[in-house]
A = this chain, B = another copy of it.
Amino acid sequence: MESIISLHNPLIKNYLRLLKSRRFRQQHKKIAIEGPNLVREALCAEIVPEVLFFTEEYYSSPAGKWIASVSDSIRKIMLTTSLFMEITSAETPQAVAAIVPYTFNIENDPLKNNSNLVLIIDRLQDPGNMGTLIRTAVAAGVNLIYCTSGCVDPYSPKVLRSTAGAIFHVVLQEIGDDRVQILKLKERGFQLVAADADGDYPYWSAGFHPDVALIIGNEATGIADDLLKFADLSVSIPINASVDSLNAAVAAGIILFEINRRRLGH
């Protein structure tokens, strides 16, 4: 086990750049994750950190016992509590953090022969919304998530935290303006469903196909026209007139769990 006491250590500098810069994350195909929950969720998903940082206090506490048992191939680095406080982006101090290799465009096709549920997220801006939406989607059984290039980075610290680690259990890919992945979904026979306050059908009366891709749009402007044109169907969630709209993750949750429920035969 090593220990670091300075903010100027190259490994710490590297960690901080991974925390702060989307471009740096993409260049190096690595992400910085913070907090025991996220680190343990990554380990559960068999994503092996390159480096683990932790405080001495955490390491010697019962909660931190697991660190001693992780593989020797992971570099383990002890930091002083004050140094750890300086590198954390969270409002509440965290006791453990990691640098994790991440394949931003996984080559394997995560789609099954049937009963696929795909989520397409278009230009969502709020990190908390993005994270909660990913968490909700994985909970509802979504096996592939596409984000358009205008979305907040799903690997930024706030988004990662809001996913509560669910992001490690799903294939997530960015799609470009050529929409080639959307065309492939159409070719494979997917029904594309747009969530839209002015949709054709209330979600309870819409008919869903065996393979569905749900599109969720930007908080203020909804789904971009050049994406919306691919939709086979649009569904709405009727709401009380005094409220303007639902939060994106809540709306997605209601529709995704409706699809899921019907698949379960209820």
Name A residues whose Cβ lies closer than 8 Å to a Cβ of B.
45, 128, 132, 135-136, 138-141, 164-166, 169, 202, 204-205, 237-240, 242-247, 249-250, 253-254, 257, 261, 264, 266
Contacts and interface: CB of A to CB of B under 8 A. Distances in A.
Main SS of chain A's interface residues? loop
Given A247-B135, A247-B249, A266-B202, A169 B254 contact: no
Contacts of A243: 135, 138-139, 164, 166, 169
A132 B240 contact: no
A91 B87 CA distance: 21
A110 B202 CA distance: 28
A189 B245 CA distance: 31
Given A45-B242, A138-B243, A164-B244, 11 more contacts: A132-B247, A132-B249, A139-B246, A140-B240, A169-B243, A202-B266, A204-B266, A237-B257, A247-B249, A249-B249, A250-B253
Given A249-B247, A249-B250, A250-B250, A242 B169 contact: yes
Contacts of A240: 138-141, 169
Task: State the 5 A-B residue pairs at the shortest beta-carbon distance, nearest first.
Answer: A169-B242, A139-B239, A250-B253, A139-B243, A204-B266
